[in-house]
Amino acid sequence: MWKAVKTVLLDLERLERGLDAYLAAEKEKDVGDPEEETRALTIRIAEADHRRAAYQDLVADGLIERDELRAKLDALRRLKAAAEEGLTALEERWRKVRELELSREKVLARYRDAVPEALEKTDGNTRRAVYNTLGVTVWAAKAKGDPIRIVLGALGGEEVCRSDATSTR
């Protein structure tokens, strides 16, 4: 498996293309403008707070009953919670994209001047860290003659197959 991953690491253009494809796929998961979506969710939260105060004023003025207030406040609480969850999810998605961008730069910087002999001498912990960074998934062969499938999730799902020798199909 290390031989297949090492082949990718030493092909800087392939590595960069794969990382860019993965990053683009993560960015495409968001539909629309994230700033606009953030603004809309923030407005929805502020409106819920404002409406809550307005409903309480109506009770104080005797214009609605407490039971009706409870129902309206419950609906507002659900609306505000949904908006806050949406805002949290949006922030989490963009935090992940920022982390991926930083990770991309670190990976490229680390392997830009990599020497094949140095990669061969890496220990198990370093290899594991590389596998985690690249999102390596290994699929065992179903039958004796089938190749092992190695999928690099951080490279846009690029698949490297290997049986006796490493191939790049």
* Tokens representing residue 6 in the block: 């090492």
The residue with greater pLDDT, 166 or 22, is: 22
Residue 68 lies in a domain: yes
- Helix ranges (H only) for 112-141 are 116-120, 124-134
Q: Burial code of 107-129, b = ≥16 C-beta within 10 A, e = fewer?
A: beeebeeeeeeebeeeeeeebee
Residue 169 lies in a domain: no
Residue 123 lies in a domain: yes
Q: What is the mean pLDDT of residues 23-29?
A: 79
Domain that holds residue 147: 2-162
What is the C-alpha separation between 48 and 45, in angstroms, rounded? 5
* Tokens representing residue 40 in the block: 């809309």
Q: What is the pLDDT of residue 168?
A: 44
Residue 54 lies in a domain: yes
Residue 23 lies in a domain: yes
Q: What is the pLDDT of residue 169?
A: 43
The residues, any chain, with a CB within 8 Å of residue 69's CB and separated by 6 or more, are: 55, 56, 58, 59
- Considering the chain, what is the average pLDDT of its residues? 82
Q: What is the pLDDT of residue 86?
A: 92
Least confident of 4-18, 62-76, 92-106, 155-169: 155-169
Q: What is the pLDDT of residue 166?
A: 43
In the chain, the number of structural domains is 1
Least confident of 2-11, 64-73, 80-89: 2-11
Residue 168 lies in a domain: no
pLDDT tier for residue 163 given thresholds of 50, 70 and 90:
low
Residue 167 lies in a domain: no
Residue 75 lies in a domain: yes
pLDDT tier for residue 167 given thresholds of 50, 70 and 90:
very low
Does residue 44 surpass a pLDDT of 90? yes
